[in-house]
Amino acid sequence: MKIEHDGNNLRVSDIAELNALNATTFRDEVRAALPLEPGTIEIDLSQTQFVDSSGLGALFSLYRAAHGGHNGVTMRLLNPKPPIQQLFELTQLHQLFEICCR
């Protein structure tokens, strides 16, 4: 997993899976890396092959952490594979995150 800072923006990439084994680590590491006044948070899922309910839970809690007291934070999920995007829609995650396919 790679975490990059660009001012108040954060970019997370190189995620193979978001599952019950690594979801907690993912959540904690990204949360620790959140800027004080976050602007845009992008999570690149182009390398991600698998997301399960624990992974979804980590994304939900990341959303809560980023929005705690901050307004105007943009959260983006980049290039999820089609089945994963369907899962986001099924679980209403797409209402919280912008989902971008570039």
Partner 1 sequence: MAGPPSTPEHGLTSRITFRCDLGEARAAARALRDFLVTLGLDETELFNCELCLTEACNNAVQHASPTGVHAPVVAAVSAHGAEIELTVTDHTPGFALATRAGPLSPDHDHGRGLFIIQSLMDEVSYFRGSRENTLVMRLARRAHPLPPPLPASAASDATGRQLAECRQTIGAMARELCFRSESLAAIFRCCSELGRTTDLAGFSQRLLGDLLHLAAADWFVLRLNSADGSRLAVFATSTAKLGGAPLPLAPRDASPGSAELAAAQSGRELEFATRLASPAVEPLCAAGPEATGRVHPLLFDEMLVGTLAVGHSTAGSPFSALQVEMIRTIAEFLAIHVVSARHQDEQLRAQLVAHELEIARRIQRALLPRALPQPPPFSLAASWESARQVGGDFYDALPLGEQSLLLVVADVMGNGVPAAMFATITRSLLRALAGRGHGPANLLRQLNELLYEELSAVGMFVTVQLVLVDLVRRQLVAASAGHCPILVAGGAAAGVQTLCPTGLPLGIMPDSTYCQQTLALADPGTLLLYTDGLTEAQNPAGEMFGQERLAEWLRDNFPLPGADQLRDRLSAEIGRFRDGAALHDDQAFLILAGGSVASAAPAPIPGSPDAAPIPSDAHATALHAGSPALAATD
Per CB under 8 A, which region of 3-11, 28-36, 57-65, 71-79 contacts partner 1?
Answer: 57-65
47 touches partner 1 (CB under 8 A) = no
Task: Give yes or no for residue 46 binding partner 1 (CB under 8 A).
Answer: no
Q: Should residue 7 be labelled a site residue for partner 1 when binding is judged by CB under 8 A?
A: no
- Choose which of 10, 12, 15, 56 interacts with partner 1 (CB under 8 A): 56
What residue has token string 């970019």?
A: 11
Per CB under 8 A, 35 contacts partner 1 = no
Question: How far is the C-alpha of 12 from the C-alpha of 83, rounded, in Å?
Answer: 20
What is the signed CA dihedral for 57, 39, 8, 49, rounded to 10 degrees?
40
The Cα–Cα gap between 5 and 17 comes to: 21
Degrees, nearest 5: CA angle 59-96-100: 85
Chain residues that interact with partner 1, rule: CB under 8 A: 19-21, 50-54, 56-57, 60, 63-64, 81-84, 86-87, 90-93, 95-96
